[in-house]
């Protein structure tokens, strides 16, 4: 004979069941988080990175008994620009690409990588466990393209104009942070160019590595003066080495916002800071001024935590100091997302499987020099070939889906690093010229077909009384060289389909000389 369950026990049993069903499991919550990771079947040796919600909670995924604060958590050691701790929202386009943290075991190197699909930038965070102190004054992050087939994925880094006839395989970023004995977070951001052919390149050889090094120098001079209150990142298209100390180097200054400039004071760097300040303000308001390469986003007039700036300008700089030591802290290898057979590789596969970058050009823009011959003399111009290139958009981003975006306010202009209108009586630089802190240039607009696509240039001995300080002799031009003082500047807005604020992108490309000819005017 079966015994009946008394009502009081029945109620207790129901309560236990309900409590268990409602109990939150933080590990399961992390596992449920999805940011459009690859759904393809993985190979037997492929490892799917642990997917977690980086916006929620204080600690990184780790085994029981191990606690590592997230890089933006209060109390963590942060050796990276402040913007990297506030600008992290998935709704603004950030997605998880790589991660070596998980809840079962921690295997160094410990890092994770985010990618912003609306800006085309890769941001990597590296956690250095407690170590013996290392003498250091700067951290250098180096991203190396280790692809068997050359591509231009790093062409947008460390330069204010892109040379599509040359492949840049390395970019290094120097930040004014030191190594510490306690566990510390380091981070760097790299702008990625779109490679339309990435899907044809095998993942086993289409790799990039992120190297983190510490150097020890006593001073850093920028454009011949002490860097002072400009706390931006110094970038160069080369790896760190002892040879970089005491030498004048060409590179770029990457500024992450108005706060990075500090107050504008009189002195050697005041013109640079003033020009960059104007560039940042105009970029955030949606216009383009004093900039040939930059990314601007967020809400104009808002506090810095809601604004994003990635501005690059040419510069020269020198590291000085008695020490020439370079200490290697980590060297992480990663597949370039979008590569062929990436789901069948050995090791970690990217959670974000699509190609990186927003756009590129099908080829370098070309122009020919035209010597217009008149009865009274001659006059040199350049003639752009608008059919020499096309803008190639990354269709995995520029589309009509909820996670995609559209392009608006597309503008193409020729900018000249010289005063093409100077006849010897005008001021050295006309009103309305632009100054990015290292270069002054004139906006020539986009050549009109009704004017034979001509745009003004200046060469030695072509007009009476001209200022030829930036000129080049006509006879020295050769086919295939890049034009010394002109670039094609392309600017546009990326408008996310999810309603978040638009992003202003500015890119400049070197123009290749395709011919020299003489025409009767």
What pLDDT is attached to residue 352? Answer: 95
Nearest in space to 298 (alpha carbons), one of 289, 312, 290, 310: 310
Please write the tens of the pLDDT for every residue from 1-43: 444 444 444 444 444 444 444 433 333 333 334 444 444 555 5
CA dihedral 295, 406, 448, 367 (to 10 degrees): 60
Tokens of 385: 């070939």
CB-CB contact of 369 with 514 (8 Å): no
Better-scored residue on pLDDT, 271 or 365:
365
Where is average pLDDT lowest: 27-31, 172-176, 284-288?
Answer: 27-31
Tokens of 281: 């303000």
Nearest in space to 508 (alpha carbons), one of 429, 443, 418, 431: 443
Q: Which stretch of DSSP H or E encloses residue 17?
A: helix 7-22
What pLDDT is attached to residue 123? Answer: 95
> Mean pLDDT, to the nearest integer, of 397-418?
92
Q: Tell me which residue has tokens 């008994």.
A: 65
Task: Return the bridge partners of 485, or none.
Answer: none
Nearest in space to 126 (alpha carbons), one of 59, 49, 191, 187: 187
Where is average pLDDT lowest: 259-263, 330-334, 454-458?
Answer: 259-263
**In angstroms, rounded to a whole number, what is the distance separating the alpha carbons of residues 174 and 197?**
30
Q: Tell me which residue has tokens 């503008």.
A: 411
What pLDDT is attached to residue 234? Answer: 52
**In angstroms, rounded to a whole number, what is the distance separating the alpha carbons of residues 163 and 513?**
13
**In angstroms, rounded to a whole number, what is the distance separating the alpha carbons of residues 165 and 152?**
10
> Mean pLDDT, to the nearest integer, of 211-216?
84
Q: Tell me which residue has tokens 């690059």.
A: 312
Q: Which stretch of DSSP H or E encloses residue 315?
A: strand 307-320
CB-CB contact of 504 with 489 (8 Å): no
Residue 167 has pLDDT above 80, yes or no: no
Better-scored residue on pLDDT, 162 or 490:
490
**In angstroms, rounded to a whole number, what is the distance separating the alpha carbons of residues 11 and 429?**
87
> Mean pLDDT, to the nearest integer, of 231-240?
52
Mean pLDDT over the full length of the chain: 74
Please write the tens of the pLDDT for every residue from 219-233: 554 444 334 334 445
Better-scored residue on pLDDT, 464 or 186:
186
**In angstroms, rounded to a whole number, what is the distance separating the alpha carbons of residues 468 and 451?**
25
What pLDDT is attached to residue 132? Answer: 73
Please write the tens of the pLDDT for every residue from 471-520: 445 556 788 888 878 899 999 999 999 999 898 898 999 999 998 888 87
Determine whether 204 is exposed, middle or buried from the number of CB atoms within 10 Å of its CB (0-12, 13-18, 19+). middle
> Mean pLDDT, to the nearest integer, of 385-411?
96
Better-scored residue on pLDDT, 240 or 493:
493
- pLDDT confidence tier of residue 249, bands split at 50, 70 and 90: very low
Better-scored residue on pLDDT, 178 or 193:
193
Please write the tens of the pLDDT for every residue from 95-133: 999 999 999 999 899 999 999 999 999 999 999 998 777
> Mean pLDDT, to the nearest integer, of 49-56?
96
Residue 313 has pLDDT above 60, yes or no: no
Residue 186 has pLDDT above 70, yes or no: yes
| Model confidence, pTM | 0.80
- pLDDT confidence tier of residue 303, bands split at 50, 70 and 90: very low
Q: What is the DSSP string of 350-377?
A: -SS-SPP-SEEESS--EEEEEEEEETTE
What pLDDT is attached to residue 281? Answer: 57
CB-CB contact of 111 with 125 (8 Å): yes
Better-scored residue on pLDDT, 134 or 186:
186
| % of the chain at pLDDT higher than 90 | 34
Winning range, highest mean pLDDT, from 194-208, 250-264, 319-333, 375-389: 194-208
């Amino acid at each position: 004979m079966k015994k009946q369950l008394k009502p009081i026990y029945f109620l207790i049993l129901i309560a236990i069941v309900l409590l268990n069903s409602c109990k939150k499991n933080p590990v399961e919550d992390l596992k449920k988080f999805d940011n459009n990771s690859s759904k393809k079947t993985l190979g037997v040796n492929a490892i799917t990175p642990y997917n977690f919600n980086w916006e929620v909670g204080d600690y990184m995924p780790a085994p029981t008994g191990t606690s590592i604060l997230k890089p933006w958590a209060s109390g963590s050691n942060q050796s990276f620009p402040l913007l990297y701790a506030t600008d992290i929202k998935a709704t603004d386009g950030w997605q998880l690409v790589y991660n070596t943290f998980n809840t079962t075991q921690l295997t160094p190197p410990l890092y994770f990588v985010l990618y912003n699909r609306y800006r085309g930038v890769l941001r990597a965070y590296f956690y250095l466990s407690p170590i013996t102190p290392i003498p250091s004054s700067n951290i250098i992050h180096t991203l190396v393209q280790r692809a068997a087939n050359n591509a231009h994925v790093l062409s947008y880094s460390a330069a204010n104009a892109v040379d599509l006839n040359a492949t840049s395989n390395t970019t290094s970023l120097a930040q004014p942070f030191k190594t510490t004995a306690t566990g510390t977070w380091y981070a760097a951001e790299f702008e990625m160019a779109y490679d339309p052919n990435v899907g044809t390149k095998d993942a086993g050889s289409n790799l990039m590595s992120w190297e983190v090094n510490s150097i020890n120098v006593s001073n850093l001079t920028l454009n011949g003066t002490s860097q002072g209150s400009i706390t931006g990142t110094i970038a160069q298209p080369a790896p760190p080495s002892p040879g970089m100390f005491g030498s004048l180097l060409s590179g770029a200054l990457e500024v992450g916002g108005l706060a990075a400039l500090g107050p504008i004071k009189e002195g050697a760097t005041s013109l640079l800071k003033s020009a960059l300040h104007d560039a940042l303000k105009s970029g955030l308001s949606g216009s383009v001024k004093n900039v040939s390469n930059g990314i601007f986003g967020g809400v104009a007039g808002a506090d810095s935590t809601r604004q994003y700036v990635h501005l690059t300008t040419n510069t020269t700089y020198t590291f000085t100091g008695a020490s020439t030591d370079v200490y290697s802290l980590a060297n992480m290898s990663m597949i370039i997302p979008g590569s062929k057979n990436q789901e069948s590789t050995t090791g970690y596969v990217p959670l974000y499987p699509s190609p990186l970058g927003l756009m590129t050009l099908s080829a370098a823009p070309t122009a020919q020099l035209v010597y217009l011959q008149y009865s009274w003399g001659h006059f040199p111009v350049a003639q752009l070939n608008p059919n020499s290139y096309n803008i190639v958009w990354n269709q995995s981003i520029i589309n009509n889906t909820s996670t995609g975006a559209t392009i608006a306010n597309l503008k193409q202009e020729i900018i000249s690093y010289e005063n093409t209108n100077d006849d010897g009586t005008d001021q050295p630089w006309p009103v309305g010229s632009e100054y990015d802190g290292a270069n002054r240039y004139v906006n020539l607009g986009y050549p009109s077909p009704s004017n034979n696509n001509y745009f003004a240039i200046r060469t030695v001995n072509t007009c009476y009384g001209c200022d030829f300080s930036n000129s080049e002799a006509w006879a020295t031009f050769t086919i295939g060289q890049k034009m010394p003082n002109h670039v094609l500047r392309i600017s546009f807005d990326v408008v996310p389909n999810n309603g978040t604020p638009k992003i202003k992108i500015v890119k400049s490309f070197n123009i290749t000389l395709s011919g020299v000819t003489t025409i009767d005017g």
